[in-house]
Structure 1
C-alpha cells in the first residue's frame, strides 16, 4: 500500500510539473502538447524560437542596436581622424643623445686636401615648425653627431632659428654655433634663407616667378643668402599623381638668373651630382643638410669649413667665399634615438584606431602640403565600394553566427532548466 501511494504521489507530481511547464513555455496555451511534453521534454523549444513574431521583433531590435553602434563607432573614429590637437603618438620629452660621433675619424672631405675645423649642418628643423625636437634637444642631437655648427631653418619663419641661437649663446657657446634662417616653403620650391634675423614674407602657396624673385631680393637686402633645397626630392613623382612633388619647380638655369647664391647638393643620403656639377661650373655655394625633423634618422653629411673662430660671422664668411667641402656617408651614423610611446595618446588609441580601420572605406589624397594651409595637388576622394560591400557581407555573416549561437544557448539552457525542474519535482514527490 505504501509503495502504491508513493507511486501515485510521484505520478501526480510529474503530471503537475508537465502541466506547469507547458503552460509557462507555451504562449498560445495549447494544452494538446502536454502529453508530448511530459514524455519528451527535450522537444520543447524556447519561446523565442517557436514564436516567429516575438523572435523577429527581438531580432530587429538587436539589428537596430548593432547598426546604431557601428554608426557611432564610425562617427567617433573618423571624427577623431580629422580633429586637431590630438596628442602625438610619440613622447619626445625624455630624449637623450648619449653618444659622440667623430666623422673625421672615418671620412675624408670630398676635396681630400681640404683642411677644416667646423662641421656644419646646413638644414634643420625644430618644434617651431614641424620638427620633433625642441631647441635644447636639437643642439644636443647635433653635438652628439659631431657637428659644431648648425643652420636652423624652420618652415616660413625665422623665430625657431633665433630661439635656438639664443640658447646656444647662453649655454652651448663652447660647443656649437647656430646660424638662424628659414625655409621658404611653397608648392613650387623650397629655399633656405640663411643668416637673417627677420622672417621674409611667404606666399601665395603657388607663387609666380615674380613672387620668387622678390623674395630672393628681400633676403639679399637683409644680408642673407639664398640656397635652393633638395632638387631631386622636389622633382620626385608624388605618390598617386603623375606629377612632381613640387609641380612647376623653377629650372636651375632660371634660379641662377634670379640670383640664388647656391644649391643644396647633398640632402640626407642623396648626392645631387648634376646640380653639384653646375655649382662647380658657375662658382655657386655648395650646401649640405640633414633636413632633420625626427631624431631616429642618421647623420649623413657634414659641410666643413676652416673658420678663423667658431662664430656665426666667421663661418658665414667662409661659406660666402665658397671655401667649403663636405664629408658624406650614404649609410649614415649607426647611432639612433627613439622616442617612447605617448601615454596621452595611449588613452585615446583604441578610439583613434577606429579612424584607421574605417578609413579603409575611402582614400583622400591631397598630395604635398604647401605649409601655407593648402595642398599642392588636386584632391582625389575615392570611395572603395568593394570594401564597403565586403564589410556589409561580413557583418551579416556575423549576425547569422550570433543568432545561431544564441539559439543554441537558449535551447541548451531551456533543456537544462527543465531537467533540473523535473529532478526537483521527483525528489519532492519522493520526500512526500
Structure 2
C-alpha cells in the first residue's frame, strides 16, 4: 500500500485559497478514481474536486467552512498501489476489477471528465531505463452488504439518502427512531432529538415546538455576508424612489410577445436594460467603479450590467457584457441563459465579475419600494418594484393605470442626489414613452 496526497490545484486566476463548502467523503471511506471528494469555493465559483486515485481516505484537510491554500494537502488516500524505491506503481487489476471496469465503460459511453484532477505518479523506473515489476496484492474478500436497520415497529427502516446522512452525522441509529409513516423522515429525527426514545418520545405530529437549529455560515452565504457587510460599512448609501406609469410599456410588451415567433418571451427586465443603456451616456458617473483605496473613480464607456439572481445557494450576480450593444431580444436570450446557469451553479468566473452597474428585481414579490445594497465597487444599483394597477387622474378623467415604483441606491461619495434623481427622470421618459426604446 502507498499513500497519495492530493494537493489543492490552482482553481482560479489570482486565487490563493479556497473554502471547503462540502465533503463527499469521510475518513475511512473507500473512494474510486474520478469520484467526487469535496466542493471548493473561491470568490468567483464553486468547483467539485474529484479523486485522482482509488483507495481509502485516511486524512482530510479540515471541516466545512475551513480555508485551504492552493498547493496544500486536501486529502490523503491510501491507494491500491505498491511503493517501491520512492516511486508509486499502480497495482494490476484483478479479473473482477477488470470486469467491473469494462461493464462501467459499456454502460456509460462517452462520459466526459470535467472536474480538475491532479497528475498521477507514473509506473515504471526513471533513469537508466530500469523496469519494476510490482508485487501482486492480496485480494480482499468481498464485504457482505450491511443489514438494514429496523425501526421501532420491527420493520426495515426506510429513509432517503439525505435522512440517512443526517442520522449518521448525528450518531442516531435509524432502528431506534419511531415513525408513523412507511419511512423515517427529517421530522422523525427532530422528534427523536427532542424526546429521545423513552416514554416522552412521540412521532412528529405530537411535537408542540421545534428545536433551535444553529447553522454554520459557510460557502456562498458567507461570501454574501462578507460582501454586504463590506458594502454597507464602506459606502455611504442613499436611496431615491420615484413612481413610473408603465401602462404603455406593458401594452407594447404584450404586443411584442404575441408576435415574437421563436424568440424568447420578454419580461420587463430586457426593456428596463435598454432604457438604462440609453440613459447612461448622459449620466456617466453612475456607470462607474470606485477604488476607494487608490482614490480613483473609473467611468466606464461600456455597460457591463450585473443582474442579481436568486439561487438555492443564495444571491449571485451574473454580468451581461456590453449590454449597450444588444437589442431587446438578445438581452432576453442572455438573461435566460445566465439565470439558468446561475441556478445550476455553472456560471463561469468571467460571467460573475467586472460589472459596472447592477439591476436587482424581486419580480412579482417586488413590494412598494426597496433600498438595495450596492454591489461594491460599483456606485449604483437599480431596483424596479412590483407593478400594480390603480386609478389615476388623466386631466379631468380617472383612468386605470399600471404603476411601478423604481428605486436606485447610490454611493454618495461619487453620486449626488440631484444626479440620481435626474437619471431616474431620464429612465422614466423612456419607460413611459416606450417607442423611444426602439428609436436611434
TM-score normalised over the length of structure 2? 0.19
Structure number having the greater helix percentage? 1
Structure number having the greater strand percentage? 2
* Structure having the higher Rg: 1
Q: Which has the higher contact order (CA 8 A, sep 6+)?
A: 1
